[in-house]
Structure 1
């Protein structure tokens, strides 16, 4: 295995706000070829796959304007600064669905598009949740429902679930005994 790495020759910020930092990065490959790569850096995200005692998963139906499609997803969002990641994941569940997780357990960490996007994504598993008196945020979810893991698998196959965090979370949950 080679330890040869790509060389970063320089970086230039194209645009930046609290949700994203877009840069161009000048790169030199081990064979001397040079090129410029766009790189997006975004804050850490925390999502939660909530499972009840019947092994049903809590999903939210929402419109994603970027792809102009209605999809089902697990709740989640940005981690605020130095906020504890598990607490952020639990907070997002309650804000977006009106359910409060009973427990939080780290399930998996991944990078969704490692070739051009730096955004660590943490998926937590909540075993059980209690319905609160807090109504879900209308800007977050059109509908909140429980689905069996088998129904969620069918929804992945039919393109109703397409977000990476939800797909990864559902498949990971299927491997749990």
Structure 2
């Protein structure tokens, strides 16, 4: 049995800002019929980075997220400005959020975070060869910036202290498929 594709007949924007847009799409779902389906669209490219050093440590930030009311560990992340290369954007974000400038930035993977409701597409990079250039530029980004040993990162993931989806996905991908594909695992 082959599934048929949904057909889109039109869309209208309900809300828009530089960060997020809410649309209602007029779609025909095979076997169901026509409905208005809500879609979150992200106007800018999302980037994250797993930042490691030669000692096998990971550069993480500890911050509070007001929407969920939780504190947790995250990897540096941000959005590319219009016309900005996503690899350049994540290098800029790492520097702004942590005070460390990456020497090398390599794409590891990309994924659609919520494909059933959103076009949020994340690119995950591996940043290495970092040089400390100062303190983080934006103090609202993190309460702490720390180099964390790999064993502790695994404990943070298992213990639920990395609850941010892009951070969880990036660290898990790096520790699993990325390393296995390179023969490191």
Normalising by the smaller structure, the TM-score range is over 0.9
1:93 is matched with which residue?
A: 94
Equivalent in the alignment of 2:159: 158
Match of 1:50 in 2: 51
Instruction: Give the whole-Å Cα distance in 2 for the aligned partners of 1:149 and 1:29.
Output: 45
Secondary structure of the structure 2 residue equivalent to 1:161: coil
Gap runs ≥5 in structure 2: none
How far apart are residue 128 of structure 1 and its match?
A: 2.7
User: Following the alignment from structure 1 to structure 2, what is the Cα–Cα distance between the partners of residues 77 and 149?
Assistant: 23
Structure 1 runs not aligned, ≥5 long: none
RMSD between aligned residues: 1.4
Instruction: Please identify, of 92-101 and 155-164, the stretch whose mean Cα deviation from structure 2 is larger.
Output: 155-164
Partner of 1:64: 65
Aligned counterparts of 1:24 and 1:169: Cα–Cα separation in 2: 30
Please tell me whether residue 127 in structure 1 is matched to residue 128 in structure 2: yes
Deviation, 1:149, is: 2.2
The count of residues paired between Structure 1 and Structure 2 equals 177
Preserved contact between residue 149 and residue 170 of structure 1 (Cα < 8 Å): no
**Separation (CA, whole Å) in 1 of partners of 2:155 and 2:95:** 26
CA contact (8 A) 1:96 1:136 kept: yes
Deviation string, structure 1 residues 58-80 (Cα, Å, up to 9, x no partner):
00011111101111100110100
Deviations 1:119-154 (A, max 9, x none): 111111012311112434211111000112221121
Task: Report the 3-state secondary structure (helix = DSSP H, G, I; strand = E; otherwise coil) of the residue aligned with 1:169.
Answer: helix
